[in-house]
């Protein structure tokens, strides 16, 4: 496994966001088994990602073996998590006969109320929408960019909500370019 990118964490300046890569052969075949073996993981089979929470961290594993992690203490912690995922994936593959793929994995669905809950809810209209709910709907439809909610991005008190919303959108397969 290796680290690919280390970025600042927007929720906590003392932490980092990390993108790494695990080294697992035929990982796309391993994914359905892995998704059913990580407690509380959500799985989007069509888009090819698994996401789960590890403490405050949001971990997203993509079918191309890339792993995105938020709220990471340091590079050492990122390496440890990557190693854990890699070992788990290998172990799961070895024991795949014991995993029932007919058992539904927890599907991840994100809706406008989920997004709204992380917005400032002030209806300030700075994004050009009359309400935060209208913004949430358009964000999910791809008609709005998350950065257009300037309150969420400019005010430090929304840092945690911002980080959580970004993590949720990324986990749901949205392209969030920051
Ligand atoms: S800019 Fe943000 S806080 Fe203001 S209305 Fe739009 S979504 Fe709501």
Ligand 1, atom 8, residue with closest C-alpha: 132
Ligand 1: which of 127, 130, 165 to mutate, judged by most atoms within 8 Å of the beta carbon? Answer: 127
> For residues 26 and 33, what is the distance between their CA atoms, to the nearest angstrom?
12
Residue 178 placed within a domain: no
Q: Which of 53-57, 59-63, 121-125 has the lowest mean pLDDT?
A: 53-57
Ligand 1: which of 147, 150, 151, 165 to mutate, judged by most atoms within 8 Å of the beta carbon? Answer: 151
The residues near 175 (Cβ < 8 Å, ≥ 6 apart) are none
- Tell whether pTM > 0.85: no
- Are 23 and 102 contained in the same domain? yes
Residue 177 placed within a domain: no
Residue 87 placed within a domain: yes
> For residues 61 and 84, what is the distance between their CA atoms, to the nearest angstrom?
12
Domain final residue pick, 91, 107, 123: 107
Residue 167 placed within a domain: yes
- Are 83 and 135 contained in the same domain? no
pLDDT at 27: 95
Residue-wise pLDDT tens digits, 130-139: 999 999 988 8
> What average pLDDT does range 75-104 have in this prediction?
94
> What average pLDDT does range 60-81 have in this prediction?
90
Domain final residue pick, 88, 107, 126: 107
Domain assignment of residue 8, given as a range? 2-107
Ligand 1, atom 7, residue with closest C-alpha: 132
Residue-wise pLDDT tens digits, 141-169: 778 889 999 999 888 888 878 887 887 78
- Are 71 and 22 contained in the same domain? yes
> For residues 27 and 142, what is the distance between their CA atoms, to the nearest angstrom?
30
* Confidence label for 7 from pLDDT (cuts 50, 70 and 90): confident
171 touches 54 (CB < 8 A): no
- Are 137 and 85 contained in the same domain? no
In 12-149, DSSP assigns E strands to: 16-21, 42-44, 49-54, 57-62, 66-72, 106-107
Residue 122 placed within a domain: yes
- Are 79 and 152 contained in the same domain? no
78 touches 72 (CB < 8 A): yes
CATH number of the structural domain spanning residue 45: 3.30.310.10
Distance from first CA to last CA of the chain, Å, rounded?
A: 25
């Amino acid at each position: 496994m290796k680290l690919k990118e280390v970025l600042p964490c927007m929720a906590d300046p003392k932490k980092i966001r990390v993108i790494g890569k695990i080294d697992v052969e035929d990982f796309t075949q391993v994914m359905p088994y892995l998704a059913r073996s990580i407690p509380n993981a959500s799985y989007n089979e069509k888009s090819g990602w698994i996401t789960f929470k590890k403490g405050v961290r949001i971990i997203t594993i993509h079918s191309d073996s890339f792993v995105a992690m938020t709220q990471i203490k340091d590079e050492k912690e990122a390496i440890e998590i990557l190693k854990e995922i890699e070992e788990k994936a290998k172990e799961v593959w070895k024991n795949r006969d014991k995993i029932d793929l007919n058992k539904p994995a927890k599907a991840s669905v994100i809706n406008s109320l989920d997004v709204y809950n992380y917005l400032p809810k002030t209806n300030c209209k700075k994004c050009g929408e009359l309400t935060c709910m209208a913004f949430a709907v358009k964000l999910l439809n791809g008609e709005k960019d998350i950065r257009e909610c300037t309150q969420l991005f400019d005010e430090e008190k929304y840092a945690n909500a911002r980080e959580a919303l970004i993590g949720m959108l990324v986990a749901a397969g949205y392209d969030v370019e920051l």
